[in-house]
Chains A and B, each alone.
Chain A
Amino acid sequence: MSGNNYSDDEALVKAARHGELAAFEELVFRHRDQIYARAFSMTRNEEDAVDLSQEAWIKGWQRLKQFQGESSFTTWMTRIVINLCLDHLRKQKRQRADSIEEMDDESGGVERQMPVVTVNPTAGLERAELRKKIDAALGQLSAEHRTILVLHEFEDMEYKEIAKTVGCSMGTVMSRLFYARRKMAMLLANVRKDI
């Protein structure tokens, strides 16, 4: 990179905004796993996650001049990949035929009947083991429920912000989050493995 030694993202972003592709490449190298991980947590498909994360970087390059530094560069990039994933999931949903199973996902009728898990199912688990269980459980949620859960728990978004990002009402956010949590509790407790 022309002998430059960039220690922080700010300098790299500044250089990239002036057209230095090498600086942008370094940003991609530093944060590609984080952006990919967010795409995967939302789509649960490795190939889609790679494609969407790369698309996010391309959009990031094109919109660099709009990045004013109000948030960190990775937060800004994460928002881009989240929006791309939401578009991707919407397209997938449109392509899917409506089904009774999907209607249940929306209403959360099944989860309302589930008994409360009275013991902490993750108590005493090693962090690595817990992560593995959480990953497996996330994979069994519907895209609608998983999206809300990821935005709330991993992105620390409030109900209002999620509603705006996803394009639904706050009531829908609360409902989906509730059922996603209940399903996760059941999955983590291994009460029902095939929900």
Chain B
Amino acid sequence: MNEAQQLKLQALLDGELPEREAREILAWTQRDGAAAALLAELKNTRQALAKSEPHLSVSESREFYWSKIEREIQRLEPRATSATGFSILARLRRRLLPASALATVVIAGMIAHFNAPQAVVENVADADATSVETTLANSDATTYRDANEGTTLVWFSPAVDDSPANNNIPAAIN
């Protein structure tokens, strides 16, 4: 029996042969005693190994085994991990940030809507009572002051950060 024939026998056992070839090899084992004996040996070995993998356990304690893993994870990504409470808070904060920015814009808009027309029309000639000024050189913030109403509106327009959540966030100061 040559090596190729031996490997065919094994392939038959492992179900790796095409159907026609499997039938041929099976017929051969029925005619050839040596082939049948080798096939039986391979089968016995396979059966012995099946579901007989030795059971092994880590001898180190849970804490000791984990400590090395934890240390390495923390070393590789110190800020990526967190305790549960912190992670929930962080996720909540991330989700609420755009909503809170939008709410601030809406409130400021409403204040401007109810106050500004009256202030502008009534005080358009009175430069001291109502004024609009750009407070920063690169136009980061604009202040709207209504002396009659005692209202100051500061309008922030970040020049560098163009993310939607940070654009045009007004703050009303009374």
Write the residues of chain A forming the contact surface with B, with a CB cutoff of 8 angstroms.
Answer: 1-2, 4, 15, 18-22, 25, 28-29, 32-33, 36-37, 40-41, 46, 50, 53-54, 57-58, 61-62, 112, 116-118, 120-122, 127, 130-132, 134-135, 138, 149, 152-154, 158-159, 174-175, 177-178, 181-182, 184-185, 188
Cα(A60)–Cα(B9), bound, Å:
39
Cα(A50)–Cα(B65), bound, Å:
8
Contact (Cβ within 8 A) B38 A116: yes
Cα(A105)–Cα(B7), bound, Å:
17
**Chain B, Cβ-Cβ closest to A156:** B50
Known contacts A122-B48, A131-B53, A175 near B7 by CB under 8 Å: yes
Contact (Cβ within 8 A) B44 A21: no
Q: Which residues between 1 and 27 of chain B lie within 8 Å of chain A, taking CB atoms?
A: 3, 6-7, 10-11, 14, 16
Could you say which residues of chain A place their CB within 8 Å of the CB of B3? 112, 175
Could you say which residues of chain A place their CB within 8 Å of the CB of B139? none
Known contacts A116-B37, A158-B16, A33 near B87 by CB under 8 Å: no
Contact (Cβ within 8 A) A32 B58: yes
Could you say which residues of chain B place their CB within 8 Å of the CB of A15? 84
Is B30 positioned at the interface, with any CB of A under 8 Å from its CB?
A: no
Distance between A137 CB and nearest chain B CB, rounded to angstroms = 9
Could you say which residues of chain A place their CB within 8 Å of the CB of B54? 37, 41, 131-132, 134-135, 138
Contact (Cβ within 8 A) A37 B55: yes
Is B56 positioned at the interface, with any CB of A under 8 Å from its CB?
A: yes
8 cross-chain pairs, A with B, having the tightest CB-CB distances, nearest first: A2-B84, A135-B54, A37-B56, A122-B48, A153-B49, A120-B44, A21-B81, A185-B45
Distance between B73 CB and nearest chain A CB, rounded to angstroms = 5
Cα(A121)–Cα(B66), bound, Å:
41
Distance between A124 CB and nearest chain B CB, rounded to angstroms = 12
- For the complex, count residues of B whose C-beta is within 8 A of A: 47
Q: Which residue among B37, B56, B72 has the maximum number of chain A CB atoms within 10 Å of its CB? A: B56
Could you say which residues of chain B place their CB within 8 Å of the CB of A135? 54
> Contacting B56 at CB < 8 Å: which of A40, A54, A112, A174?
A40
Cα(A117)–Cα(B39), bound, Å:
10
> Contacting A33 at CB < 8 Å: which of B34, B38, B41, B58?
B58
Contact (Cβ within 8 A) B58 A50: yes
Could you say which residues of chain A place their CB within 8 Å of the CB of B46? 153, 181
Is B59 positioned at the interface, with any CB of A under 8 Å from its CB?
A: yes
**Chain B, Cβ-Cβ closest to A133:** B48
Cα(A123)–Cα(B152), bound, Å:
94
Contact (Cβ within 8 A) B83 A22: yes
Contact (Cβ within 8 A) A19 B82: yes
Contact (Cβ within 8 A) A58 B84: no
Contact (Cβ within 8 A) B73 A21: yes
> Contacting B50 at CB < 8 Å: which of A153, A158, A188?
A153
Known contacts A36-B58, A37-B56, A117-B44, A19 near B80 by CB under 8 Å: yes
> Contacting B53 at CB < 8 Å: which of A41, A54, A175?
A41
Cα(A55)–Cα(B25), bound, Å:
45
